[in-house]
Amino acid sequence: MAVVAVLVVANYLNNVALRWAYPWISVVEVLVLLGLARAAGLTAFDLGLGRSTWRRGLRWAGVLALLVLVAYLVALALPAGRETFLDQRTRLGPGGALFAAFVSVPVGTVLLEEVAFRGVVWGLVARLRGPMWATAVSSLLFGLWHVLPSLGLGRNNQMVGSVYGSAAGAVTVSAVLATALAGVVLAELRRRSGSLLAPVGLHWATNALGYLIGAAIWTVSG
């Protein structure tokens, strides 16, 4: 329950109260979560951070990031695919896009979410109920975590807005379901690889490359 309470507070701070400082706030939140994990008796291996798993995790991460890049390049070649990158949050300019891809996303988003959901939550539940329950619980919480970030998604993303119109509730429900499903994929990567670095690689590539490509499209289109 303490971990869930920390996540609720973190979600509010990152998305409402201290949104401007969320990358740095996230570092503190990660340290708190790791402290709770240690107090609960979890080891580095329970968290997917055992030293012997680093090399394997990095290999998984590299391959997954490359697959995301290929998928994005294919999407760019299609009119409908290109539209998915036209998100107001990626309208940052070159400097802003680089900061987002290499600071905000890895520190403020990926580090916190992977340590929280595929590390601490997954590790705690797996120890008590096994990996299947760990994946189910961590993925459900991961989906609910995206309720606040989904608000305004229809206004920010052209494709989402064209599909859902003003149905904000439908956007939120869809976002929760989609991210819960993504959580299952990320948790399975963590289980199969034995390393947290595998989902970290996929998560970073999905978000960061999206920012870089989106910003490039906005810049070229003027």
Neighbours of 74 (CB within 10 A): 10
Round the average pLDDT of the chain to a whole number and report it: 88
Residues sharing a CB contact under 8 Å with residue 150, sequence separation 6 or more, in sequence order: 171, 172, 175, 176
* Residue 34 predicted with pLDDT over 80: yes
Task: Average the pLDDT over 173-190 and give the result.
Answer: 95
List pLDDT tens digits, range 37-54.
999 999 999 999 999 999
Neighbours of 40 (CB within 10 A): 14
Q: Where are the alpha helices (DSSP H) in the chain?
A: 2-12, 22-39, 54-76, 79-83, 93-99, 112-113, 122-129, 131-145, 147-150, 153-156, 158-164, 168-193, 197-221
CA distance 149 to 107: 17
% of the chain with per-residue pLDDT over 90: 64
Residue found by looking up tokens 């906005």 in the block: 218
* Residue 130 predicted with pLDDT over 90: yes
CB-CB contact of 82 with 217 (8 Å): yes
CA distance 81 to 67: 16
